[in-house]
Structure 1
């Protein structure tokens, strides 16, 4: 039996999902007020606004049937964005935006292979990026190519991270708060390699104004704005870690004898899962996204997803 729970202060609230949703082929994202799940051709939207208003959780939802299987899903503060392949043109992707109205745009990718993963992310200003094979496409007509395949892309409020299969990371966007990890606060208009990181990165996460990476040796690194403590850096009276970190810095909230196996980042909070199935949460708890404990244990096989202002626990069971 699979479960989806929302962390909210001292509670883990069960979300009664549609029985037709396949957890093994599930996309999940959340706006400021909505949880969005995508499975096959079904987009399911849950109303989370009551949580933010301090009222009883409203578990009502809207269901949208998509013409073809959903290939990727993401969101910004107030937009839901998903991608599916056109029924009429096998090399055409449909990019749909749910906001005040339903908008749809098209992107042609020559030699599109449906078995290749489609990557999707968006900045808060509405700029959308599609990753496929070794290329990134922007709907503003920008396009970039890499010499290695894309493993993952993710975005914060104003910056993008790209992880390639060879372990390198590229970044671009607004450098404010040090989110690019390039050693300064300058903006960057095109993908730039973070040379201070070795080529053994296996996962990335982009928070609102901070960034996280997971390395193959079980360590994690972070950079960006740490005023809420989202970077996972231990501090002491003699060591003030508030402010901005412009270079990748070792995450120290996990014990030295525990490997990190999972990372996730929200707007102002972060989650690290250790190899001992303990969870470390840090950053802002304004909306109860850290729970009431900064450390707790989870069942094996549980993953944690941070949206901008929420934290979800996903348990997949046979």
Structure 2
């Protein structure tokens, strides 16, 4: 392993470590902030938005609790989809790494049916050499790092000036057939790269048994470059680092979202509820418009009572959540209320803001 490769591996490892550390710190602080109540303002704002949607879309016999649970389930489903995409990408990365290892052990070739695919990694077929006058009319040169298809043939299919893949020592070479000779019933074949001035000793007078197949016209330099990169050590390590970063992000993000949901549930189902007994249900049924302390206009189905005698602020910013089946209780959201309570009041204390 050369120095450049070692440096590249160290840089990628450091890059991955930094990203994971940032994700861990950001989402850990966010999680702690939600659980400690420091972000309650943001959570309450989300509850108010959800409640407005609930009033517009609510169905018969569906209270705000059921609506918000349904919304949270929808969020979880989106999170599951995201996690699924991350895992699919990681499985893809693992498959690519395994495929790369397979290519290296198989002379950089892979097979699909009767076709062999390989990458031409030299420039010997990328241009015409002026000395090779037999190339007139042959313009099917192959650029460096192109992925090409090689079809299986019989010896009777061998044709002069077609391009073939053949074995030379421990390598696979893709060159053009320039000579066919038969001596004592034995036919041999000589090849040369279009950009070369002559044939190498290892590509002269080869038997048919050394020939893998004939170039079928398929080539893609984009796919070839991708294969070359993924077969390199840097490519494999890059994919592994990307998979690790995405898995870390998904795990840390999930913890933060769970904390947010827990705080949301606590504020909307527990510390954010107050129950008011009332008698005159028909009077409270009317839709009214109310302004809160910040003069933000909200449309709620409801009624409000004076709670000053109980130590609560005037409910000019309260909103009704739901009315129970027996019609003797109404749930109201209050900005300042931190503990659940049941407040009794007289009918003459009810007013519409």
Structure with larger RCO (C-alpha < 8 A, sep 6+): 2
Larger CA Rg, structure 1 vs 2: 2
